[in-house]
């Protein structure tokens, strides 16, 4: 019995064709699920958070049939381009670097970026000479900084602190915070809102605070948080923008935002 | 003690078992196909099978998993799309669970191929000749004579493979399947008690391994019945 | 496919490869050092010791390496204060040490069991001959049993070597910049995931098959220790 290659292909083709060929009104949305309060997985295993609620509101207005999937942060952009899903709603800042590989909707939130450290290290940073990023560089020279791979702060901190401090890459925010608590790293730079909600405002965050000036270089920190889509899906993004404008105008956005934030998350 | 994450750990356990069983079945199928391709295939088929085991044996599962997870669906999509104009919007819809099962099955199919190949080659030729002398051919030969003996030779390799696949499901946490390891990771992050949860997960894996070993012992005794070795 | 940045980053990738190799070699060496006495104890030691060691190997072999790694790394972080109190924190603080510890215990467990099987495969007549010549226990071990056991064990041990060589890629998940870690960092910097992961895969392939080739040669030369027929 000789197995011809064509039989193998035939079997493969049959298997492949048995999976669904679908129409365009289903929209799959990816989020990280590890960045409260924007997105998280609750104790029952369901995805929830600001991103989910805003995305659901947009889907309702744009009449999409939306499903949500969780995806590891460092695989979230490749997954979009590999067509595993169609949109990303994951507190993703629209940076210039990212715009080279994905397209962004209009912004639906603002995210400041800061370093967080223990009070001792934060005091050292405050006492260091200089201002802004230079003050941070002086104070953190020779120390260890933690980053989430592919986060917004990642390329900026890498550029500025390469050779100045030791840099460690982690999979997600909770991993870095655990190591910050354990003292393996001295400081962690990322979106301030996530760190604030899950760490600083909780008992585990006692003895830690934001340190140094906010990171605002526009070349790296972009124009706010937006939904990401593939570069060619301009029509999809246009629909998302229209729906976003509507929920901003009719008060749905404000209602959702109040659930999670006691300040104006949309910003300027 | 588990901060209410007990039910979720249990769900993770079922997901782990689901991925393991699914991936194992796919691996077995690929193993049989691969082994026959290597032993009886034409030049091209044999080459494909050899390349398959060559690559998978040499690359770490973590990297393979990431490559397979992202690359294979894209590859299949582009092949199908370019094959005919009516398929230009073809989409491969696989949720993470299915992707993990397929990816892990694909990866461990290579190990299964080697196990089956060794087992097929180990069947004493005399048995097959004797069967043919008695007039058994084709399906009867395979089912009555070859298969039971095949199982005997393949058993240690296949049971080993099951334990390996079971533990490899922990890698599926990297591609976001909510199985045991991922649940432990999420719970650890949320409660800041990593030791507790990873220890709990380890104990659960140990329990499944223990149960598996007991089952394997039973299968061993059954398949070695009637031979000189008896139960090992 | 754009391999330009990959070529530019080749030296960094090679540094990552060096880290991988150092980690693998250290792991295997320490693991072997631990495994040999454990295997001998399993083979000829008292029952209670043998059972204790079996418990250890069962626990290590029955749980995924990834879980063990996270248990040691993040788990030790949870007990930072306690560890500092007993003076052990300096060790667990470094991800390298955690990885080394976890991987060493893992290969030690697997190697103990397979070495034990190999020891049992050495025929008793060999030991009797040694006794007849007045060899002490240690001499029998060194000159008769272990060489043959290693020869029997090598094919299976090769699998263990390859497995742990590839398992070092897990170290990238606890911030170590081995080959997989470097590939991941660079892939995310340039958004060229396929290119970097494919390159890393190719580098692993080269290393694995070089090691396998070397092991096959060693296997051949060790065959002279085995019984003819």
pLDDT at B90 over 80: no
Residues of chain B neighbouring C201 (CB-CB closer than 8 A):
55, 59, 63-64, 67
Strands of A187-191's sheet in order across: A166-170, A144-148, A187-191, A113-118, A208-215
**C-alpha to C-alpha distances, A26 to A66, B86, C198, nearest whole angstrom:** 6, 20, 32
For C3, phi and psi rounded to 5 degrees?
A: -95, 5
pLDDT at A18 over 50: no
Position C24 scores a pLDDT of 96
Chain-wide mean pLDDT for chain C?
Answer: 89
- Quote ipTM for the complex: 0.84
Best A1, A12, A13, A21 member to test B by mutation, with max B CBs in 10 Å, is: A21
- Exposure pattern of B35-68 as b/e (b: 16+ CB <10 Å)? bbbbeebeeebbeebeebbeebbbbbbbbbbbbb
CA distance, residue A234 to nearest chain B CA (Å): 16
Among chain B residues, the shortest Cα distance to C66 is held by B170
Chains with 3+ CB–CB pairs under 8 A to C are A, B
Q: How many CB pairs under 8 A join A and B?
A: 97
For A30, phi and psi rounded to 5 degrees?
A: -105, 145
Q: What is the mean pLDDT of residues B52-74?
A: 85
Q: Are A210 and A192 in contact (CB under 8 A)?
A: yes
Q: Which of A45-54, B20-29, B164-173 has the highest mean pLDDT?
A: B20-29
Lowest mean pLDDT among A19-23, A53-57, A121-125: A19-23
CA distance, residue C185 to nearest chain A CA (Å): 7
Chains with 3+ CB–CB pairs under 8 A to B are A, C
Position C2 scores a pLDDT of 78
- pLDDT per position as a tens digit, C155-211: 888 888 999 999 999 999 999 999 999 998 888 888 888 889 999 999 999 999 999
Residues of chain B neighbouring A19 (CB-CB closer than 8 A):
92-94
Could you tell me the two tokens for B11? 């769900």
Residues of chain C neighbouring B206 (CB-CB closer than 8 A):
58-59, 62-63
CA distance, residue C34 to nearest chain B CA (Å): 23
Asked whether the beta carbons of residue C184 and residue A169 sit closer than 8 angstroms, the reply is yes
Position B232 scores a pLDDT of 39
Q: How many CB pairs under 8 A join B and C?
A: 108
Which residue ranges form the domains of chain A, and what is each CATH number?
5-110+224-260 (3.40.190.10), 113-221 (3.40.190.10)
The angle formed by the CA atoms of residues A72, A74 and A76, to the nearest 5 degrees, is 65
- pLDDT per position as a tens digit, C104-162: 999 999 999 988 888 888 878 888 888 888 888 787 778 888 888 888 888 888 888 99
Name the residue with higher pLDDT: B133 or A231: A231
Find how far residue C172's CA is from the centre of its chain.
17
Domain CATH number, residue C208: 1.10.3720.10
B168 touches chain C (CB under 8 A): yes
Residues of chain A neighbouring C181 (CB-CB closer than 8 A):
169
Which residue ranges form the domains of chain B, and what is each CATH number?
6-223 (1.10.3720.10)
CA distance, residue B219 to nearest chain A CA (Å): 30
Chains with 3+ CB–CB pairs under 8 A to A are B, C
Query: Rounded to whole angstroms, how far apart are CA atoms A96 and A27?
Result: 25
C61 touches chain A (CB under 8 A): no
* A189 Rama sector, left if φ>0, alpha if ψ -120 to 50, beta otherwise: beta
CA distance, residue A268 to nearest chain B CA (Å): 32
Q: Are B56 and B64 in contact (CB under 8 A)?
A: yes
Position A4 scores a pLDDT of 63
Task: Determine which helix (DSSP H) or strand (DSSP E) holds B55, and give its type and residue range.
Answer: helix B43-58
Best B60, B159, B163, B168 member to test C by mutation, with max C CBs in 10 Å, is: B60
Q: Identify which of A19, A72, A178 has the shortest CB distance to residue B93.
A: A19
pLDDT at C49 over 90: yes
Query: Rounded to whole angstroms, how far apart are CA atoms B171 and B177?
Result: 9
Asked whether the beta carbons of residue A78 and residue C193 sit closer than 8 angstroms, the reply is yes
Q: In total, how many domains does chain C have? A: 1
Position C45 scores a pLDDT of 86
C163 touches chain B (CB under 8 A): no
Position C131 scores a pLDDT of 83
A172 touches chain B (CB under 8 A): yes
Query: Rounded to whole angstroms, how far apart are CA atoms B106 and B26?
Result: 7
Query: Rounded to whole angstroms, how far apart are CA atoms B61 and C172?
Result: 13
Chain-wide mean pLDDT for chain B?
Answer: 83
Total-model pTM: 0.84
Name the residue with higher pLDDT: A8 or B143: B143
C44 touches chain A (CB under 8 A): no
- Exposure pattern of C196-224 as b/e (b: 16+ CB <10 Å)? bbbbbbebbeebbeebbeebeeeeeebee
Q: What is the mean pLDDT of residues B194-203?
A: 92
C75 touches chain B (CB under 8 A): yes
Query: Rounded to whole angstroms, how far apart are CA atoms A49 and A193?
Result: 13
Name the residue with higher pLDDT: B84 or B46: B46
Among chain B residues, the shortest Cα distance to C172 is held by B62
Parent domain of C200: 4-225
């Amino acid at each position: 019995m000789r197995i011809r290659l064509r039989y193998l292909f035939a079997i493969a083709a049959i298997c492949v064709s048995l999976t669904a060929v679908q129409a365009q009104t289903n929209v799959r949305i990816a989020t990280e699920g590890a960045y409260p309060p924007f997105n998280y997985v609750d104790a029952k295993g369901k995805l929830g958070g600001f991103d989910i609620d805003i995305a659901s509101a947009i889907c309702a207005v744009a009449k999409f049939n939306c499903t949500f999937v969780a995806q590891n942060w460092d695989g979230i952009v490749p997954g979009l381009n590999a067509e595993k899903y169609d949109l990303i709603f994951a507190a993703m800042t629209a940076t210039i670097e990212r715009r080279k590989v994905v397209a962004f909707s209009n912004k639906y939130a603002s995210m400041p970026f800061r370093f967080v450290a223990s009070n001792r290290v934060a005091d050292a940073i405050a006492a260091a000479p200089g201002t802004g990023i230079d003050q941070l560089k002086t104070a953190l020279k020779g120390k260890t900084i933690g980053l989430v791979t592919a986060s917004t702060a990642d390329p900026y901190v890498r550029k500025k602190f390469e050779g100045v401090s030791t840099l460690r890459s982690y999979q997600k925010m909770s991993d870095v915070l655990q190591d910050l608590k354990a003292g393996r790293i001295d400081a962690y730079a990322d979106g301030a809102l996530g760190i604030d909600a899950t760490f600083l405002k909780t008992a585990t965050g006692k003895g830690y605070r934001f340190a140094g000036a906010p990171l605002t270089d526009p070349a790296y920190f972009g124009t706010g948080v937006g939904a990401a889509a593939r570069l060619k899906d301009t029509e999809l993004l246009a629909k998302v923008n229209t729906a976003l404008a509507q929920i901003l105008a009719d008060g749905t956005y404000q209602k959702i935002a109040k659930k999670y934030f006691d300040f104006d998350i949309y910003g300027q | 003690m588990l901060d209410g994450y007990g039910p979720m750990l249990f769900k993770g356990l079922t997901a782990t078992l689901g991925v393991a069983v699914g991936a194992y079945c796919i691996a077995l199928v690929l193993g049989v196909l691969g082994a026959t391709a290597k032993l009886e295939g034409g030049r091209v088929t044999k080459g494909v099978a050899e390349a398959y085991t060559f690559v998978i044996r040499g690359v770490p599962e973590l990297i393979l998993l990431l490559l397979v997870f992202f690359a294979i669906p894209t590859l299949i999509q582009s092949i199908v799309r370019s094959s005919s104009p009516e398929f230009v919007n073809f989409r491969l819809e696989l949720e993470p669970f299915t992707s993990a099962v397929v990816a892990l099955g694909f990866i461990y199919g290579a190990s299964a191929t080697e196990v089956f190949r060794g087992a097929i080659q180990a069947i004493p030729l005399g048995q097959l000749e004797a069967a043919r002398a008695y007039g058994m051919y084709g399906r009867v030969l395979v089912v009555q004579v070859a298969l039971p003996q095949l199982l005997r030779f393949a058993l240690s390799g296949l049971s080993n493979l099951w334990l390996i696949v079971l533990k490899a499901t922990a890698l599926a946490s990297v591609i976001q399947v909510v199985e045991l390891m991922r649940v432990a990771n999420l719970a650890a992050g949320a409660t800041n008690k990593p030791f507790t949860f990873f220890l709990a997960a380890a104990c659960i894996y140990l329990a499944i391994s223990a149960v598996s070993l007991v089952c394997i012992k039973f299968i061993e005794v059954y398949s070695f019945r009637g031979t000189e070795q008896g139960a090992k | 496919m754009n391999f330009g940045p990959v070529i530019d980053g080749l030296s960094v990738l090679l540094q990552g490869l060096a880290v991988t190799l150092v980690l693998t070699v250290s792991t295997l060496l320490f693991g072997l050092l631990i495994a040999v006495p454990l295997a001998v104890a399993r083979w000829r030691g008292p029952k209670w010791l043998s059972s204790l060691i079996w418990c250890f190997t069962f626990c290590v072999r029955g749980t995924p390496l990834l879980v063990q790694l996270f248990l040691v790394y993040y788990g030790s972080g949870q007990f930072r204060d306690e560890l500092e109190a007993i003076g052990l924190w300096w060790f667990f603080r470094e991800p390298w040490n955690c990885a080394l510890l976890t991987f060493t215990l893992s290969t030690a467990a697997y190697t103990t069991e397979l070495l034990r099987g190999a020891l049992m495969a050495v025929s008793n007549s060999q030991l009797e001959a040694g006794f007849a010549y007045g060899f002490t226990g240690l001499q029998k071990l060194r000159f008769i049993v272990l060489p043959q056991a290693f020869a029997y064990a090598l094919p299976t041990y090769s699998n263990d070597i390859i497995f742990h060589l590839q398992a070092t890629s897990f170290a990238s998940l606890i911030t170590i910049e081995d080959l997989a870690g470097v590939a991941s960092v660079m892939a995310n910097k340039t958004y060229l995931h396929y290119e970097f992961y494919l390159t890393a895969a190719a580098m692993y392939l080269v290393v694995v098959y070089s090691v396998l080739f070397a092991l096959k040669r060693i296997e051949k030369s060790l065959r002279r220790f085995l019984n003819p027929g």
